[in-house]
Structure 1
Amino acid sequence: MDVLLHVCCGPCAVGSIPKIEEHNVTLYFSNSNINSYEEFEKRYETAVTVSNYYKESIIKDKYEHNRWSEHIKGLEGEPEKGKRCLKCFEYSFIQSAKKAKELGIDNFTSTLTISPHKNSKIIMEIGERVAKEYGLNYVMVDFCKENGFKLSTDLSKELGLYRQKYCGCEYSIWF
C-alpha cells in the first residue's frame, strides 16, 4: 500500500517509519505552523537526514505561515493542547490530503501520534475526517504505542538529530 506520511520533524519520523515499513512510504514535510522560516528549515534538514537513513523519498511543502495563521485565527490565546492545536492538526491534514490526491496516493497518516504530549485518538479522528472529505483513507496508527516515543528519542540521539523543545508555532514556545 502507498502511504503519504505527514512528517512534523525528523525525531518523530525516525520512530514512526519502522512501524509502517511494510508499506511504500513517501514522507511529506508540511509544517507552516512553525514560527519562523529558519526553524522550518532546521526541522526540514533533520527530516531529510531521516529520509536518507531509511532510504525513503521526501517532499517539502511551501512554508506559508500566514495561511496557517488565517486557519487558526481567533484561537491564538487557546492553551496548548486546546482548540488551536486541533485546527493546526486539521490544517496539516488538509495539506497532506491535497498532496496525496495530487500524487495519486490513496492513504495518508501522520507522525504527530508519536508524541506522548498529544492525544493520538483525537489526532486520528481529525485525520480520518479530513481523509473522508478528500475521498482518501487515513491510516490509523498510534506511533507512540509499543515504545514508539522511546525509539524516537534513542534513534534521534544515535543519529545526532536536532530535537526542538516546542511543537512549532509561536504560541507553543515554553522555554
Structure 2
Amino acid sequence: MIYAGIDIGSITAKAAVIKDNRLFGTHVILTGYDPINAGIKVFDTLLKQIKISKTQISNIVSTGYGRASVNFADKALTEIICHGTGAYFMNPEIRGIIDVGGQDSKAIFLNKKGQVENFAMNDKCAAGTGRFLEVMAKALEVDLGLLGDFSLAGDKPSKISSICTVFAESEVISM
C-alpha cells in the first residue's frame, strides 16, 4: 500500500509518501501566497522524484493551516492528530512532540497507544514560532539553518527582555 501526506503550513508546504510501511520520499517548498498551488506543486514534484503516479496512492491526507486547500486529498486532519500518528509510526516509544511552526508552536503528549492525550499551543503572537527564528536570523545576518549551531557554540546567552518578535528584533539589532 502507498499513502501520502501533504502539510500546507504558513511558511512551507511538505509532502511525504509511505510505501510498504516505510518512508519512501519527502519534498518541501515555500508555501508563498497560494496554498492551493503549493499543495499541487509539492505533491507533483515529489511524485516525479520517486517515480510514482497519483493513481498508485491508496489514500492522501492533508494537514496544516492550508489543509482545506488540498482539494484532491481524501481526508483533511489537524496537525495535532497527524503529528501524533506520524511520531508513533516512526517510533512507538515517543511520548512528546514539539512543533515550532511558522505561526504557532505546539507541545503534544501521547499515550502508550500513540493517541494524543493532551496538547498546548501558542497561537497568540509570533513569539516562540518559526517566524520569530527567521526574524532573529535576519537581524543577526546569519542563515536560519545556522542558528542552532551558533546557540550551541555560545558560552553565555544574550539577554533579550522582550518576548514580542517586533520588539526583540529591535533589541537584537541595537546590540
| TM-score bracket relative to the smaller structure | 0.3 to 0.5
User: Who wins on radius of gyration, i.e. which is larger?
Assistant: 2
TM-score if structure 2 supplies the norm length? Answer: 0.33
TM-score, length of structure 1 as denominator length: 0.33
Greater helix content: 1
